[in-house]
Amino acid sequence: MTSKLLNKLPSPVLITGPAFSGKSSLAQQIMGPREPVTVIGTSTIDSVLIKSRINTLKGQRPGGWQTIDHPNDVAAELANAVQLGHGVLLDSFSLWLAHRLFQQAARLPQEESQVAEQVNTDIEEVIKVLKKTTDARIVIVTAEAGAGPSPDRPAERLFRMLLGTANCRLAALCHSVIDVRCGIPIVIKES
């Protein structure tokens, strides 16, 4: 699919797929050269390779794009960017969710229900902002974590459950959904 066709996909756009499949690069193509854009970057991973990848992506962005790194309150950052009239690239929802769950990890497995409720409240806040937004260009990157057997560790199981249900909610809300496999975008929803 060419960049011109990708830029015409109705917003919000959800991009999903496995890790390192090309989702972030595709998201930048879908945003196109438009400005202003706020990129909400959620990676908190302390790795030379990940930081290098993030810096490469930043280097590919137009000069007028603003990046907010490591926000805890994605809903507030999303609402603020939309209010300013910016396009928004959220990269990535799944990393933000993992970070929110990791902050509660000490409470697992004893308080699994309470942790799930708190994280679901955070997810709901993001969903509310998306539902209120009608005219901004929004692209959301998220990972697919549901394939394979169920993990043994409670935190991993809870993450997979929360991410799977959140991805379903986002896909239902978004006007376009793209699955990226081996760098190939497959449009699975366009309305």
156 or 70, which is more confident?
156
Q: Is the dihedral of CA 42, 92, 181, 59 positive or negative?
A: negative
Nearest-angstrom CA–CA distance, 167 and 145? 10
pTM for this entry: 0.90
Nearest-angstrom CA–CA distance, 127 and 29? 24
The per-residue pLDDT for range 64-117, each reduced to its tens digit, is: 898 898 778 999 999 999 999 999 999 989 999 988 888 887 787 888 888 889
Average pLDDT over every residue of 162-178: 96
Asked if 30 and 13 touch (Cβ cutoff 8 Å), the reply is: yes
Q: Which domains does the chain have, with CATH numbers?
A: 3-190 (3.40.50.300)
What is the pLDDT at residue 175? 96
126 or 44, which is more confident?
126
Quickly list H helices, the chain: 3-7, 23-31, 48-60, 74-83, 93-102, 112-132, 154-173
